[in-house]
Structure 1
Amino acid sequence: MIGLAPPGARLDILCVGAHPDDIEIGCGGTLLGLVGRPATTVAGLVLTGSPERREEAGAALPEFFPDATVRALDLPDGRLPAHWDAVKDALEECAAERRPTVVMAPRADDAHQDHRLLGELVSTVWRDALILHYEIPKWDGDFRSPNVYVRLTESDARRKVELLSRCFPSQVAREWWDDELFSGVMRLRGMESRSRYAEGFVCDKLLLDLDAGSTG
């Protein structure tokens, strides 16, 4: 087991989502587990969404990590590959403002085209950050085995499920959206990591700094 950064070291996290709720579904438990860690900041960038959905995104992330900031854009949902230049520009603009320690983004092999594009582009924009690709359950059945796990406390796992439905009321009527699904994914990843609950990620490249005892 290794930590994201040595105790007391600054930890700046950028969470990138194609849609409102991607970030919270994919890594909300991890963010809850970081609450209270000194010298930690969280920022979110969401690429698509109606005005209602963007409002949800702006209010949701601070519920998972207090004082988190969110920028939500209005690119067309489901059409990000056709707007490659705009997506790339948005990421580069964000990179000009932020040099995060960790970037959390969708998986590059995600079946959804919007997720997949972001997963592919983040490593071309943030070359010196630790990039953790989160997973999002969907009807495509595209789950793969993670190679990184973040163990969660039972209270953080329960809190994540509670907050998802509270923060995204526009989604609760969807047939796939329910507490059992979100809990089940965390329970499965927990079993795989010899804990009760966990979130799974994919990391394509990991740099170990032996002097600092940190990863990046």
Structure 2
Amino acid sequence: MRSVLAVGAHPDDIELGCGGALSAHRAAGDTVTMLVLTGGQNGPGSCLERRREQERAARVLDAVLVWGRLVDCTVAPDAATVTVVETVLRSVAADIVYVHAPDDSHQDHRAAAAATLAATRHGNRILHYRSPSTTQFNPTMYVDISAHLDRKLDAIACHRTQVDASAMVDPEVVVASARHFGAQARTRYAEAFAPVRFVWDLRPVQSAPSARAAAVAEVTEVAALAGQLPPW
């Protein structure tokens, strides 16, 4: 079981960027924590509305929600923000971290990316996700979310104030983006990520003796049949 931490500057950022991957992590048995740095004070909707929306979305994704208690549009990549991320990172012992891509037109997104990179300087699985305001993004890793797109959309739908008032939170665009990245990944729907670092853990998985014996028997049978076939 892995511990996954997703960092977003505002309510709805994480769902848009990696909500499908987080759903896949939960289905795989991983624990998921969402760190939302600000309350979205300058976006559509009141702080109370946005807080409630984010809480509902976290429940949809079956994730633990942590608030960074910073102020929208004033996030800086300084020691204070780094400490916020570090504190959560250590408390959940996260070994996979998702965060905004650094090339973004929103200053809070850029600051969140920079602060998280500083906080995860000793980590080896850090992935950037794309936001609607991302300006440059060259993904090289994908997560198949074909079985999780509906849950991602349900989580985004929780952010009613944003879906109704912001052109950047459009469910149709979310689906189109997932289909686009799915085509790149050679699957139906996908989310795309740009790794800062990603180290595979290839320790051997212990298989049950009976399963191993069955696999060996199957290979032996196939080899025997192959020897009976003509060489063409």
The answer to whether the 8 Å contact 2:11/2:51 transfers is yes
Higher alpha-carbon Rg: 2
The aligned amino acid for 1:47 is L
Alignment equivalent of 2:93, drawn from 99, 116, 135: 99
> In 1, distance between residues paired with 2:154 and 2:90?
35
Shift of 1:209: 4.0
Q: Map Cα deviations across residues 88-132 of structure 1 (whole Å, 9 max, x no partner).
A: 221122233132120111112223211111212222212224111
Q: Map Cα deviations across residues 155-208 of structure 1 (whole Å, 9 max, x no partner).
A: 42233223312x101112223322211111111101111111100111022223
Q: Is 1:70 aligned to residue 61 of structure 2?
A: no
Unaligned residue ranges in structure 2 (runs of 5+): 40-46, 206-232
Identity %: 33
Unaligned residue ranges in structure 1 (runs of 5+): 1-9
| TM-score, with length taken from structure 2 | 0.77
> In 1, distance between residues paired with 2:21 and 2:168?
22
> In 1, distance between residues paired with 2:55 and 2:204?
35
Shift of 1:20: 0.5
> In 2, distance between residues paired with 1:35 and 1:92?
23
Structure 1 or 2: more helix by fraction: 2
**1:44 paired residue number:** 34
Identify if the C-alpha distance between structure 1 residues 196 and 56 changes in structure 2 by more than 3 Å, giving closer, same or farther. same
Q: Is 1:197 aligned to residue 189 of structure 2?
A: yes
Alignment equivalent of 2:145, drawn from 149, 152, 162: 152
Q: Secondary structure at the match of 2:196?
A: coil
Aligned residues: 196
Indicate the larger mover: 92-101 or 19-28: 92-101
> In 1, distance between residues paired with 2:78 and 2:135?
23
**2:84 paired residue number:** 90
**1:184 paired residue number:** 176
The answer to whether the 8 Å contact 1:79/1:114 transfers is yes
The answer to whether the 8 Å contact 2:129/2:194 transfers is yes
**2:54 paired residue number:** 57
What is the correspondence of 1:110-149 to structure 2 with a 5 Å cutoff? 110-126=104-120, 127-138=122-133, 142-149=135-142
**1:35 paired residue number:** 26
Indicate the RMSD between aligned Cα atoms, in angstroms.
2.0
Identify if the C-alpha distance between structure 1 residues 207 and 129 changes in structure 2 by more than 3 Å, giving closer, same or farther. closer
Q: Secondary structure at the match of 2:21?
A: helix
Alignment equivalent of 1:21, drawn from 6, 12, 19: 12
